[in-house]
Amino acid sequence: MEALKVRGLSDKGMVRQNNEDYFGWYVPKDSGLSRLGSLFAVSDGVGGSSAGEVASAEAVNVLLQEYYFSDLTEKIPERLKNAFHRTSLHIFDLSISHDAARNMKCTLSTLLLKQNHFFITHVGDSKIMLLRDNDLIQLTKDHNLVGKLMRLGLISAEEARTHPNKNVLLKAVGEGPLLVPDFYSGLTQPGDIFCMITDGILEHATHDELKSFLMEQGSSDVAMVELVAELNRRGGHDNMTILTVKVNKV
């Protein structure tokens, strides 16, 4: 049995012309790189036209390249943070040096699994969630207006889903040269399912529906396709990306 079972799907939805979401991962088979763990990333581009697509794809690909193949420290948390910083600076540089990419930004959420530990770096309103012992919890904090209003107790989760300013980001990769991501870490255990999503998934699905999907069908490629198809039937107002990682053994 594989130690990790990974599945991912991205869809542009029914309204948007382009898919500005992007995801990627690397599970090293080479013994020289396996010491660095397995890295997963999800990004949601903002900025309109092709700029959002460029930002999200660049963010994920540059992050993976920097983490595994750059001359960074061997200390895992610092290596991940440094790779994130270089990626953020790269996106910012592109946004100020190319007219077609002017002011482009993106969310970027990363999950690193190494032995029995997880490490997360995060900016934006994409989400990393963990299903463990029949409980689905969100590990990241949303850097958007409705997320802040919810944390202040001013609106409910249901009100946040339909709030007129639900797409207003307060923090994004590319907004400046010195961006500090949120950082989280913890222990993994067999049976854990990490779920990484862009905000389009919960546009039309509830937290409980996502939990049921992960508990009952999360290990099936067909089920993932059917989930996105159902969300498109409900409107598909945004791009949607879901990436799941099941921990079979640590």
Cβ(223)–Cβ(193) below 8 Å = no
Confidence class of residue 232 from pLDDT cuts 50, 70 and 90? very high
Show the DSSP H helices in 47-200 as ranges: 51-69, 76-97, 145-151, 157-161
Structural domains of the chain sorted by starting position, each given as residue range(s) with its CATH number in brackets: 4-247 (3.60.40.10)
Other beta carbons less than 10 A from residue 85's beta carbon: 17
Instruction: Please give the share of the chain, as a percent, with pLDDT higher than 90.
Output: 74
The predicted model scores a pTM of: 0.94
E strands of the chain, at which residues? 4-11, 21-26, 38-46, 105-106, 108-114, 117-123, 127-132, 135-138, 182-187, 193-197, 240-247
Q: What is the pLDDT of residues 23-51, one digit of tens each?
A: 999 999 887 899 999 999 999 998 655 68
Cα separation of 207 and 212, whole Å? 9
Per the structure block, which two tokens stand in for 73?
Answer: 């420290």
Cα separation of 98 and 102, whole Å? 6
Other beta carbons less than 10 A from residue 182's beta carbon: 15
Q: What is the mean pLDDT of residues 103-122?
A: 96
139-142, long-range: CB < 8 A, 24+ apart: 139/184, 139/186, 140/109, 140/182, 140/184, 141/182
Residue with tokens 């542009």: 12
Give the Å distances, CA to CA, from 174 to 44, 89, 104, 154. Answer: 12, 7, 7, 29
Residue 126 has φ and ψ, to the nearest 5°, of -70, 165
Q: Identify the pLDDT of residue 46.
A: 86
Q: What is the pLDDT of residues 137-184, one digit of tens each?
A: 999 999 988 878 888 888 887 777 777 777 788 899 999 998 999 999
Residue 63 has φ and ψ, to the nearest 5°, of -60, -50
